[in-house]
Amino acid sequence: MHCPSIFREERLDVLHGLIATHPLATLITAGSEGLMANLIPFTLHSGGEHGILRAHLARGNKQLNALREAAEALVVFQGPECYVTPSWYPSKSEHGKVVPTWNYAVVQVRGKPLVIDDAAWVQAQIAQLTTNLENGRDHPWKVSDAPDDFIAAQLKGIVGVEIPVLSIEGKWKVSQNRLALDRQGVINGLRAERACPEMLELMERD
């Protein structure tokens, strides 16, 4: 990914934090049937230098063939994003040399995928994913809330995937390349329009 050094994010805890809060990622593979991409929710686990990703796919998903063939898969986690209007920049009134842009945070992960056709493994991954997503709800749903025979039938239709993370890159494009007044102008604009609160929080924090 094109990532000027000013936008590069290398803190592993920050990168993992985005994955945890935005688990629905684009899984990209290149196999004998060409490029394929699917939106897949992932869970992140400890292990290795950078962590391990786990997920499950429908047994009928053709990307499973590519995952079995693949020497490498690319997983893209998209964090908060927002359009930035030049009208938010104080420098606009000074010289007018401003253009629109987009602020965003993204994490790209690469690793060699392993297809796991094991119902117990898949059930554990689904249970972890559900726990992560239901956490904080007044009445969190658990896999065990559904009848055992129903869950067993569902498991027959899905297959697990594990991707040990070989490399991880983060890009936090949050107006670092602008003057401090212009960056504050973006923060003020987001706050005034109540737009993208997650991006506003990210900019105020960093």
- Concatenating the DSSP letter of every residue in 110-159 gives EE--EEE--HHHHHHHHHHHHHHHHTT-SS---GGGS-HHHHHHHHTTEE
Q: What is the mean pLDDT of the chain?
A: 94
Closest CA to 32 of 60, 64, 58, 69: 69
Residue reference for tokens 């995952």 = 67
At 158 the pLDDT is 97
Least confident among 14-23, 91-100, 107-116: 91-100
Q: Is the dihedral of CA 203, 53, 49, 121 positive or negative?
A: positive
User: How many Cα atoms within 13 Å fall on the side-chain side of residue 91?
Assistant: 13
Percent of the chain with pLDDT strictly greater than 90: 90
Residue 102 has pLDDT above 80, yes or no: yes
pLDDT at 31: 86
**Is pLDDT of 206 > 80?**
no
pLDDT of residue 92: 77
Confidence band for 22, pLDDT divided at 50, 70 and 90: very high
Please determine, for residue 163, whether its predicted confidence score (pLDDT) is greater than 80. yes
Q: How far apart are CA 160 and CA 114, in angstroms?
A: 8
pTM of the model: 0.93
Q: What is the pLDDT of residues 45-67, one digit of tens each?
A: 999 999 999 999 999 999 999 99
Nearest to 122 by CA among 156, 149, 145, 97: 156
